[in-house]
Chains A and B, each alone.
Chain A
Amino acid sequence: MIQARLQFSRGDFSLAFDECLPERGVTAIFGASASGKTTLLRCIAGLEHAVGSLQVNGEVWQDATHFVPTHQRRLGYVSQQANLFPHLSVRKNLEYGWHRTPLHERKVSLAQAVAWLGLEKIIDRDEVEKLSGGERQRVAIARALLASPRILLMDEPLAALDYASRQEILPYLATLHNQLMIPVLYVSHSLDEVARFADHMVLLEDGHVLASGPMHETLSRLDLPTARLEDAGVVIDAKLVAHDEKYHLSLLDFAGGHFWVGEIANSLESHVRVRILARDVSVTTELPVTSSINNVLSARIIEVAEFGRGKVMLRMTLSESQILLSYITTRSLDRLGLFVGMDVYAQFKSAALIV
C-alpha cells in the first residue's frame, strides 16, 4: 500500500494530499492542467521536498525526521520527455539503472524489458536522437523498469507524442499492466488514456483530492467533473467468450449480461476492458424487437441528474457492481416517463464501443 500524506506549496499553488493508494495495479492521477498532478508525482519521487510522510509498500520514504533522496527510493520515473541520455547508446541507456541495481534486487532482465516493450529492432542503435518519439518513450519505460523499481511513476508519458505513436505504445502499456507486480501511478489529463488500463483513479482539482476510488466507480459518479466531460462514460471489465467470424464480431460476458463488440484479436477467455460512453447509450422501456442495435441489457435507473439545458444523465445498474451512464434529452425522459427505480432496457451499438 502507498500511504501518502503530503503538503507542498510554491507561490500561489498548494497541494494537500492525504490518501492510501493500492499496492497493485495502475492508479490514474487525473485532473485538469495545473491541478497538481505532476507536483504530486514529483513529491512522491522526492524531486520536490514536500512536508509530511510517505510510505511505499512498508518502506518509509519520508516522515517527520527522514527524507530518503530520490536515488535511494527505488522508483521508476517516466515523464513526457523520454530524457534518454544523448551520449549513450540505446543499450547503454537501458543498462544505466540496471548497473546501479544490486544483484539481489534485480527483478527484470534486459531480455525481458526488451521483449515487453518491443525493442528488439532498436536495441543496437548508437544514437538515441535518431529514434522516433514513440521508440524513445518505449526505451525510457524499459530503462525505468530495468532499475527494478518498487513503484512506477508515469507523468503523461504519451502527451508529447502524435496520435500514431500513442497508438503504438498503448498496447505495450496495457500488457505491462498485467506483467508488473508493482503499483503504477499514471498522471494524465486524457480520460481516453487512463480509462483503458487504470484500476484506480484519483481526481485532483486545484491541489486537492476530489475523489479517489476504483476506476469503474469513480467514472460512474455524477457528482464529479468527469461525468461532465464530453467523453464521459463507464468501463466494463469483461471476458471474451466467442468470436463470430461471419459478422466479424466478438462476444463479451460480464456480471450484468453479455454484448457484442467489433472483432478483437485477443484469445478466448481473455480479459477485455470496454469503454461505453454515456452519449452512445439509449434507453427503451420495452425490449426492442427490430433494431439495428446489437446490444440490449436490462437495467434499473438509480439516479437522474440534469446536465445542461434540456439534457439529463441517467445512472443505471446492470448488476450489483456494474453501472452504466446514459446521456439523453429531457424530452425523452418525459416522453418515456422515466423515474428512479424504474426497470428499463439500455442499448448501445457494437460499433460505438471502445475496446
Chain B
Amino acid sequence: MATTSPGHANVTGPTLSRRDFIRTGGVLVVGFSFIGTKALKADAGRPAAMKNTLDPTLPGSWIEIHPDNTLLIRTGKSDFGQSTTFTAYRQIVADELSVPFEAITTVVAGDTDSTPDGSGAFDFLGEGMPNIRKAAAYTYQALLDLASERLGVPKDKLSVKDGIVSGGGRTISYGDLVKDQQLKLTIPVSGDLTSIMGLTIEGNPPMKPVSQYSVIGKSFKNSIISSKVAAKTTWATDVRLPGMLHARMVHPKTLGSTLVSAGTLDKTKFPNSQLIVKGNLVGVVAPTEWEAIQASEQVASGTKWTEWKGLPGNEKLHEHLRHQADWTSTPVAKGDANKGDAAAALAAAQKRLSATYQFSYMKHAPIGPTMALADVKPDGTVHIYTHNQNPQALRGEIAMMLRTTPEHVIVHVYPGPGHYGRSNGGNAGAEDEAVLLSQALGKPVRVHWTRADDMKWSTQSPAAFSDVQLAVDEKGKLAAYQIDHYMPAMQDDRPIGAVLAGLPTMQAPQPKGDFVSSTVNGISDPWIYAQTPNVMELGHGTFQVGQQASPLAVGLRDHSMRTPGQFQQNYPRELAINEAAALAGADAIQFRIDHASEERVIGVLKAVRDASGWETRPSPRPDAVATGSTPVRGRGVSVMLRSRTYWACVCEIAVTPATGAVVVEKYTIAVDPGIVVNPMQLKRQVEGGAMMGVSHALFEEATFDESGITTSDWISYPIPTMSDMPEINVVLLNNPKVGTYGGGSEAANALAAPAIAAALHDATGRILRRLPLKPAYVQAMLKT
C-alpha cells in the first residue's frame, strides 16, 4: 500500500559496546534505542504505542553475526509470497556487508517476540531504504571499526570481500572479529511499533555504492519454496496445541443483524461440543474438527437474528454512491500535480469528453479462508498462531479488545494463503474470535472460517466512481484534465469478533480518523502527463456503505487490496487517456509519450510498444465492429508509476459481440524499477500480478443485496483458470543509474483493467466504463 514515511532525522549515530567476555562463541547483535519525540507517539484512536518488550541483546535484534561467519537477519515483515524477505532482503544485506548471499543462513520474519520493527507486509523495499538495509549499513561501519582496531590499520585503508577484511597486509574474517566477544551495536529508531508503519531506523550511515553491488541483480532462489514444495513447511493451518479445540463461527444473518436467540446445541448428536455466546458473537467448539463443523451447522439452523436491510444492493450501488452517500463531511483531497485553470480551459474547448467510470467491490479472496489459533493463558498472556501481514498491529488490537497492554499479547506468524493487503492493518478475521473463545474456555481454540465466512464476513476492496472531464485542443494535445474520484473509506481495521462481542476496538472510519482510518480519499495515482497545462485531481471520501445504518456499525467493511486506492484512480485515468487519444485521432502510446516529460515514463512506453509489436494508429481500429458472433480483436495500453517503479502494459483481446465474452490473448508488460534486485523473482511476481489483473478486469465483482454480501464461493466469485491465461511477456528494464530499487509485487494487477477496456473500444468502437468486463455487461453495452 502507499505509505508515508516519517522524516529522517540526523542523529549522532550508533554506539558499539562490549559486554561480558565469554569463552566460547561470541556474537555481534544489532539492537536499537528510541530517539526523539516520535517514540511512543500514538495515532488518534489506535492502541497506545509501546516500547519494544524485548531486550535488544536477545533475539529481536536486526542482524546477528556469528563466529562461523554466518548471519541471521530479522524483519517484522511477513512473507506473503512476494519472496522479498528470503531473496531481496538477503541480497541487500549481503551487498551492504560485503558477504556472500549464502552467508545469511537464517531469516526470522513476523513473530512479534522475535522481530524488531513491526509494520505491514507491503512496500518491502520502502523508498529504496528498507530498515534491514540501514541496519546492515550501520553494522558494516561497526565491523570496520572493530577490524581497524584489531589490525591496527585506519578504517579508510580497509577493504572487505566475502566477509574478510583486509588491510596493512593482514586479513581477518567477520567471524573472527566477533569470536569470544559479545558485542552489541545500538542504532537509533523512531516510530510506533504497533502502528501500521512500525519502527523506522533513523540516521544516515554510509551506503555501499551501486557500482559495488555484486549480489543484487542476480536470480537467487527463494529458500522457503523448497520447504513448501516438499510439505516440510509448518503453515498456520498446521499448528496444533495440546488440548486444542476446533471452532466454527455462526456469524449473523446480515451485516446489521443482532442476536435474538442462539440455537440449542443437540447434545445427543454432538456430546463433546460447546456453544459460546458473547453479545452477537456465536461460536461452537469441539475436540474434533468434523464435530465442530456439524455442530455449528446445527446451531446455526436454530439461531434467530433480527432482520436488516440497510444496503442499497449492488444493482443500485452506483446510484447510491452518486446520490445518497455523504461526500460533504469529509474534506476534499487535492492532487499535488494540480495546475492552471482546468475549469476555464474546459469551458473554452471544442473537443471535450465528460464521462463517469465505475469500479465494483472486489474480495481479497485468499485461496484458503482465514484461520487463527489462540491460547489465552491463566495469567492473561495471549498467544496467537496465525498468518498475518502486520502482527504487531494485531497485537495492539487484541490488547485493546482485552483492555490490556500489548506486552501480554504475542503473535506467532506462519505461512498461509496470500490475502493481498487484508491484514496489513493487523487482522484478517478469526484472530480475535479465537482469542475470545479461548479466553471463555481456558483452552487453546482454533477458529477456521468457512469459504462462505471468508467471502461474506471479511473486508473488501472498496467500490468507487470517478467523473472525468477533459479537453483536446486543435493540435491534438490535452488542454485540460479534471478528475473527481469518489470512494468510501478504504481501511477498516476493527476486528470483527470484537465488534460483534461489543468489546473495545478502534473507531470505525470517520473524517477525523488517522491517516489510515480516515474517510479522506487522497490522490494516490501520481500524475505522469506533465505536459498537460491544466490539471485538477480531487479526491472525495465518505463513510463505508451501511456503516452508519447498521446496528452493528458494520456495513460493507473495506480494506486496502493490492495496489489499493491507486487501482481505483488509475483505471479511470488510463481509460480516459485512451479516450482522449481517440478524440485527438492519435495513437494511444504516442499520445502518452507526447504528454510525458519524464524519461522513465517514456522508456516503459517505448519498451512495451516494441515488445508487443504494437501497430501505430488511432483507436478504434478501422474495421471495428460491435455486432456479430465472430470474435473481433483489439489492443489497449495503460501506464502507472507506483512505489518508484514505472509500469506499462499492452493487452490484446478478442471479444465476441453477440455474447459479450472477452478473452485476453496477450499481455505484454514493461517494468522499470530502477535496479532489478532479483530478475527471476521479479519476473514471477509480475506474471502473477498480470494474471490477477486479468481476473480483476474480467471476473471480479463482490455482489450484495440489501442485507449483506451474496458472493459466497468460487462459483459466485469466479477467478481465472489456467485456460484463461493469456500469453504473458514480461520485459524487465534494469536501470541502475536510478541508484535504487522500486517495488515489484503491486501495480501489475491494476494495469490490466484500463488496457483491456481500451482494447474493447479498439475492437468494437464502443466503450464500457465499468468494471468488471463481464459478458452480460459487455453484451448489454454493445446492444445499446
Decide whether A and B assemble into one complex: no
Chain A contact residues, CB within 8 Å of chain B: none
